[in-house]
């Protein structure tokens, strides 16, 4: 395999995926060169270069980074697709290329109206004569109506339009979408690969980089945040150690309440600035001041915005709680490794004392029961269960067995 080009450098541990995307970008270049010439190899190149891709992988695997790098390679005018220095690569990586449209949302769903807008955008020819790329992050948030609205456009797109859909797994997309896309699966990079990246970026020394990479379970974005911020590492420890230390029903209820409050504060901090900016922009468009008397139509639009922001806030809270529970699961994964004398590095090496304490006071069967309780809580939260009650039931289940 040829050495990865600059746009691929952020895709740590994804050599197989990079090779496939690089080959597809070369085929895309040959397709453009062959158009109108009747060249025979164009059919083979079309087979390698699909007009629709579904890029999947666990959180932290780099789905959106892979899609962006591929979009840059498609727009590249350098000697080898993905050179990283030509105008096509640089503008795409900076998200300023007029032919590459990025779709990302903090809302719970991508609506059918948004999907129809993407279909209209996809019909336009590329302004720079290469490819029109529609890149949808979190494509799993397309509701059924929105996904159905995209079907025809994905199945029979204009000649030089490419759809890039990113989702955690293919099962998160409806079957009719899956069947119309070429599927590319990313894997989680190793802890040591992520730590090496953090060191290369000058973010942390080796010990801190390894601790952050393990704690983030190889999620590159989270690892960067933990490596940069000692307070973030302390915050994570506080969130996950309290539920693991409960010894009574009262302590369990208190730990659940604190977990919910902390997650709520973190979620509010994530959405507060965006909410304020959106409201100010809507008021500007409506020609109103914050304190001005609004018309009936303006009030309706403001209510609609508030409802959308409430849905986003609920999603942010669910995301924060799920992240905390995934971290909590890592504690019991470590406990089980100790109990089974498995030759595996601890994810939470900084919490080794707690891990060994929990391992000594319980059996592997009890540990697995606690893992099941946490997984059930995750499913109930994602299913819109009442958060505080779900957390209380979970933390009660984490107490030492009588």
Find the angle CA(365)-CA(366)-CA(370) to the nearest 5 degrees.
120
- The pLDDT value given to residue 1: 40
Helices (H) and strands (E) counted in the chain, each on its own, are 16, 5
Architecture of domain 15-36+47-185: 3-Layer(aba) Sandwich (3.40)
As a whole number of angstroms, the distance between CA 332 and CA 328 comes to 7
Confidence band for 4, pLDDT divided at 50, 70 and 90: very low
Average pLDDT for residues 117-134, to the nearest whole number? 89
Average pLDDT for residues 174-194, to the nearest whole number? 91
Mean pLDDT taken over the chain: 87
pLDDT at 131 over 70: yes
- The pLDDT value given to residue 271: 83
- The pLDDT value given to residue 132: 95
Average pLDDT for residues 54-83, to the nearest whole number? 92
CA nearest to 398, candidates 347, 349, 332: 332
- The pLDDT value given to residue 95: 93
* Residue extents of the structural domains in the chain: 15-36+47-185, 191-228, 249-274+303-398
pLDDT at 365 over 80: yes
Residues recorded for the chain: 402
Tokens of residue 183, six digits: 């599927």
| Phi, psi for residue 124 in degrees, rounded to 5 | -75, 140
For the residues of 228-242, what is the DSSP string, one character each? H-HHHHHHHHHHHHH
Confidence band for 372, pLDDT divided at 50, 70 and 90: very high
């Amino acid at each position: 395999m040829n050495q990865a080009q600059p746009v691929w450098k952020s895709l740590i541990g994804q050599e197989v995926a990079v090779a496939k995307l690089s080959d597809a970008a070369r085929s895309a270049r040959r397709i453009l060169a062959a158009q109108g010439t009747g060249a025979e190899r164009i059919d083979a190149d079309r087979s390698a270069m699909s007009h629709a891709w579904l890029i999947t992988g666990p959180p932290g695997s780099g789905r959106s980074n892979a899609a962006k790098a591929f979009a840059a390679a498609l727009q590249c005018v350098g000697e080898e697709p993905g050179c990283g220095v030509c105008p096509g690569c640089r503008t795409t990586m900076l998200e300023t290329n007029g032919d590459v449209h990025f779709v990302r949302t903090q809302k719970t769903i991508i609506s059918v109206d948004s999907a129809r807008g993407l279909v209209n955008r996809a019909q336009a020819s590329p302004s720079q004569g290469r490819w029109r790329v529609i890149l949808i992050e979190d494509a799993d948030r397309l509701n059924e109506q929105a996904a159905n609205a995209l079907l025809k456009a994905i199945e029979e797109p204009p000649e030089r339009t490419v759809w890039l859909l990113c989702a955690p797994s293919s099962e998160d997309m409806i079957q009719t979408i899956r069947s119309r896309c070429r599927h590319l699966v990313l894997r989680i990079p190793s802890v040591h690969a992520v730590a090496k990246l953090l060191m290369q970026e000058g973010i942390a020394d080796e010990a801190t980089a390894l601790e952050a990479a393990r704690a983030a379970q190889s999620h590159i974005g989270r690892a960067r945040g933990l490596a940069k911020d000692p307070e973030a590492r302390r915050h994570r420890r506080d969130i996950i150690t309290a539920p693991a230390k409960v010894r009574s029903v009262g302590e369990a209820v208190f730990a659940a309440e604190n977990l919910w409050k902390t997650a709520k504060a973190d979620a509010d901090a994530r959405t507060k600035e965006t909410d304020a900016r959106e409201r100010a922009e809507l008021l500007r468009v409506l020609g109103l001041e914050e304190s001005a008397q609004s018309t009936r139509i303006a009030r309706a639009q403001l209510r609609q915005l508030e409802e959308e922001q409430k849905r986003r806030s609920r999603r942010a809270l669910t995301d924060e709680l799920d992240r905390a529970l995934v971290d909590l699961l890592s504690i019991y994964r470590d406990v089980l490794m100790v109990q089974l004398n498995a030759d595996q590095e601890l994810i939470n090496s900084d919490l080794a004392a707690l891990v060994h304490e929990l391992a000594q006071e319980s059996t592997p069967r009890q540990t697995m029961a606690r893992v099941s309780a946490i997984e059930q809580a995750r499913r109930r939260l994602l299913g819109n269960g009442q958060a505080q009650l779900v957390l209380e039931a979970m933390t009660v289940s984490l107490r030492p067995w009588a």
